[in-house]
Amino acid sequence: MILSKLAAATLVVSIVTSPRIDPAATQHLSIHQKNVAARVYVESATDCIARTVATDARFRKEDPAFNLGDLIVDSVPKCLVPVRDMIAVYDRYFGEGAGEDFFMGPYLDILPNAIVNLIKTRAH
């Protein structure tokens, strides 16, 4: 359920505001270097979503996992620029479609735990 809602919220937007990266300049980079470079965008998107979730009145500090899927879905529209930037960077570094694949797969798999951990870390 979270997957389909996030996909709709993120991918319906037709205008992409993305960082400008020369594709020829990325060809010589190793997979590790590309992952390190893309990490900045992953962290930016995750940080935006975590901040938005943490400030939502429905968020429960005593039970951060409660209703987390809905809170994440509702936060994505407020974080479209960093999310779209992350997807665009993956497309540029790893090939067309890689950004969407990353977002819909590994990113969404780790996002709930990453958000809970970020919120807990900031609370201390």
How does pLDDT run across 16-61, given as a tens digit for each residue?
Answer: 444 555 556 567 789 999 999 999 999 999 999 999 999 999 999 8
Query: What is the residue-averaged pLDDT of the chain?
Result: 84
pLDDT at 7: 52
Name the pTM for this structure.
0.79
CA 73 from chain centre, in angstroms, equals 11
> Phi and psi (nearest 5°) for 51?
-60, -45
Q: Check if the beta carbon of residue 68 is closer than 8 Å to that of residue 116.
A: yes
